[in-house]
Amino acid sequence: MTSKLLEKLFNLVERYREDISNPSHVVVDYKTPSELSDLIRFAIDEHGVSADEFAELMENYLNYSVHTGNRHFHNQLFSGFNFPAFAGDVLSTLTNTSMYTYEAAPVATLIEREIINTMNGYIGYEDGDGIFLTGGSNANLIAMFSARTRMFPDSRFDGLNASGRLTAFVSVHAHYSFENAANLLGIGAHNVIKVAADENGRMIPAELDKAIQSSLERQQIPFFVGATSGTTVMAAFDPLESIADICRKYKLWFHADGAFGSSLILSPKYQHLFRGSQLTDSFCWDAHKLMGIPLISSALLVKSKGTLQFNLSDINTDYIYHNNSEIEDLGKKSVQCGRKVDAVKLWFAWKHYGKSGYAEKMEHLVELAKYAEDIVHRHDKLELVVPRQTLTVCFRYIPSFDTNVDKFNFTVREELRKSGKTMVNVARLNNQMFIRLIISNFENQQADVDQFFDYFIQTARELEQQEMLQHQNHA
Ligand SMILES: Cc1ncc(COP(=O)(O)O)c(C=O)c1O
C-alpha cells in the first residue's frame, strides 16, 4: 500500500508543479464551506479508509487548497514554489527530529549554527547569536522578552508585580504582534506606544524621542523600541541609525522587525535600507517570506551571545540535556522544547542559489514592483494611494461615477478571488481601503504582472458597467 501511495504522492507533486507553471491555471478552485464538506468527508471514522480512498483524500486536499505557488497568488507576504527548499522540507519531515540536542539533530544543529552566523554577517553582529522559531510574531515576542529580562532580571522568577509600568515603542505601521507580545509578557498591549510615521511610512525619530520623554514624565519605564524593516502594508523601512541614537540615549533595547523586509539585505543594492542594523540588539528575519522557503522558516538574531539563555528560568532539564557533546545544544536558547529543523530547508535553498543568486532575486523583485507601480501611474482609472517604498504597490480603481470606492475595490478583489484568477489582498490606511499588491514571488516576470492588471482592470470594468446600469435604472 505504501509504495502505491508514494507513487501517487509523487504524481501529485508533479501535477502541482505543472499546474502552478500553467499561466491559465486557477490559484484556487473556490468552494464554500458547505460545498467543501460535500466534496470531502472530514469526519474521523471508527475504521480507517482504504488505499484508494486515501489517494482520493490526498488528491482532493491538493485540488481545493490555495495554490500559493501559483504566479497569481499575491494575497500574503509569501508566494511561489522553491524546489531546493521543498526538497529540504521533505527531508526534514522524513527524518522527523527535534532541534533541542546535537544528539537528536547533529546535521541540523550545524546547519542552524551556520545559517545564524551567515545572517548575523549581513546584519553586522560580530559576535552575535540567534535561534530559529515559529515566525516573525514569535521573534518579536522573544525580542521583547529579552528586553524585559535585561531590564528586570528578577522578573523571570518573581514576575512583574513590583516593577512599575513598562512601555514599548513601535511605529503606527508596526505589526500587531508587538501588542500581543506585550499582552503575553504581562506588560499590557496598551503600554505599546505608537509613534507617528512620515508620508513614506517611516517612523519619525523626533516623534519617538518625544514619546519616550512623555512616558518618562508619566513615571513609566520605557524599555523597548521596535523598528520595522519592511512594514506589512507599505513595505517601508524605519531609519535604524537615527533610532539607534535615541535608544542609546535612553538605554533602551533596540529591536528591528525585519520579518518581511530583511531578505532585501542580501542585495548590496538595498543594504542602505538597513544602515545602522549593527546597532540594534535584536533582529527578526523571516526566510519564509521573500526567500521563498515553505512556512515556517524564521530567525531571531541577537547581538550578544548568552542573551537567549539568560531569558530562560530553567535550562538544566536533565532528561534531555546531558552535556555530552562537543557543541552547545541549541534547545538551551529556545522557549520551545520540540522544535522543527526549520533552518534545513533554507540551507538547501541557499546552497542551491548561492549568495549572489539570492541577491539577484531580491533585485528582480524590486524591479517587478517598480514595473507594477508604472502600470498604475500610466492607467487613468488607477490611483497610487501611498508612494511605493519597496515591494508593495498600494492602489485603487476609481470608477467614473459616484460610488463607495472602498466597497467597489473590495468587490473587485472578491470577484477575482472567487474566480480563482488571482488572489490579492486589501489594506486600509488613512480611512481608505485599497488593493495591496505584494511582489514576493521571484519566479514571476513582467508578463505575470501584466496579466494581473489585465484581470483586475477587466473585472473592475465589468463591475463598473453593471453598477452604472443599476444607477441609470434607479434614476
Ligand atoms: C512586519 C511584520 N512583522 C511580523 C510579521 C509576523 O510574521 P509571522 O507571520 O512569521 O509570524 C509579519 C507578517 O506579515 C510582518 O509583516
Helix boundaries (H) for 124-161: 136-151, 155-158
How close is the Cα of 364 to the center of ligand 1, in Å? 22
How close is the Cα of 345 to the center of ligand 1, in Å? 19
How close is the Cα of 175 to the center of ligand 1, in Å? 7
Strand partners, 432: 429
Lowest mean pLDDT across 232-246, 252-266, 310-324: 310-324
Mean pLDDT of 81-87: 97
Mean pLDDT of 250-275: 98
193-248 pLDDT tens trace? 999 999 999 999 999 999 999 999 999 999 999 999 999 999 999 999 999 999 99
Q: Which H/E stretch holds residue 249?
A: helix 240-250
Q: Taking a C-beta distance cutoff of 8 angstroms, is the pair 425, 29 a contact?
A: no
Mean pLDDT of 35-54: 97
How close is the Cα of 135 to the center of ligand 1, in Å? 7
Q: Of 77, 176, 425, which is best to mutate to test ligand 1, by the most ligand atoms within 8 angstroms of its C-beta?
A: 77
pLDDT of amino acid 457: 98
Residue of minimum CA distance from atom 7 in ligand 1: 136
Query: What pTM, to 2 d.p., does this model score?
Result: 0.96
d(CA 317, CA 326): 18
pLDDT of amino acid 64: 97
Question: What are the helix and strand counts (H, E) for the chain?
Answer: 14, 12
How close is the Cα of 259 to the center of ligand 1, in Å? 5
Q: Of 175, 228, 289, 300, which is best to mutate to test ligand 1, by the most ligand atoms within 8 angstroms of its C-beta?
A: 175
pLDDT of amino acid 1: 66
How close is the Cα of 378 to the center of ligand 1, in Å? 32
How close is the Cα of 183 to the center of ligand 1, in Å? 17
Residue of minimum CA distance from atom 4 in ligand 1: 136
Mean pLDDT of 170-180: 98
The grid coordinates listed for 75 are 494575497
Q: How many CB atoms lie within 10 A of CB 408?
A: 20
377-395 pLDDT tens trace? 999 999 999 999 999 999 9
pLDDT of amino acid 51: 95
Q: Which atom of ligand 1 sits closest to the CA of residue 138? A: 11
DSSP 8-state assignment for residue 424: E
Please state, for a pLDDT cut of 70, what percent of the chain lies above it: 99
pLDDT band at 157 (very low <50, low <70, confident <90, very high): confident
Q: Which atom of ligand 1 sits closest to the CA of residue 288? A: 10
How close is the Cα of 34 to the center of ligand 1, in Å? 31
Ligand 1 neighbours (beta carbon < 6 A): 77, 135-137, 175, 177, 228, 230-232, 257, 259-260, 286, 298
As a whole number, the mean pLDDT across the chain is 96
pLDDT band at 463 (very low <50, low <70, confident <90, very high): very high
pLDDT of amino acid 144: 97
Q: Of 260, 283, 285, which is best to mutate to test ligand 1, by the most ligand atoms within 8 angstroms of its C-beta?
A: 260
Q: Which atom of ligand 1 sits closest to the CA of residue 258? A: 1
Residue the block writes with cell 505543472:
18
For 76, left (φ over 0), alpha (ψ -120 to 50), or beta?
beta
How close is the Cα of 138 to the center of ligand 1, in Å? 9
Q: Which H/E stretch holds residue 222?
A: strand 221-228
pLDDT of amino acid 265: 98
Q: Of 68, 286, 289, 392, which is best to mutate to test ligand 1, by the most ligand atoms within 8 angstroms of its C-beta?
A: 286
DSSP 8-state assignment for residue 266: G
For 185, left (φ over 0), alpha (ψ -120 to 50), or beta?
alpha
Q: Taking a C-beta distance cutoff of 8 angstroms, is the pair 147, 304 a contact?
A: no
For 186, left (φ over 0), alpha (ψ -120 to 50), or beta?
left
CA distances, 97 to each of 91, 103, 300, 339 (Å): 11, 10, 21, 8
Q: Of 74, 79, 134, 137, which is best to mutate to test ligand 1, by the most ligand atoms within 8 angstroms of its C-beta?
A: 137
Please state, for a pLDDT cut of 90, what percent of the chain lies above it: 91
Q: In what order do the strands lie in the sheet with 432-438?
A: 73-74, 423-429, 432-438, 392-397, 382-384
> Does residue 29 surpass a pLDDT of 90?
yes
pLDDT of amino acid 183: 97
54-72 pLDDT tens trace? 999 999 999 999 999 999 9
The grid coordinates listed for 114 are 551556520
Q: Taking a C-beta distance cutoff of 8 angstroms, is the pair 256, 228 a contact?
A: yes
109-136 pLDDT tens trace? 999 999 999 999 999 999 999 999 999 9
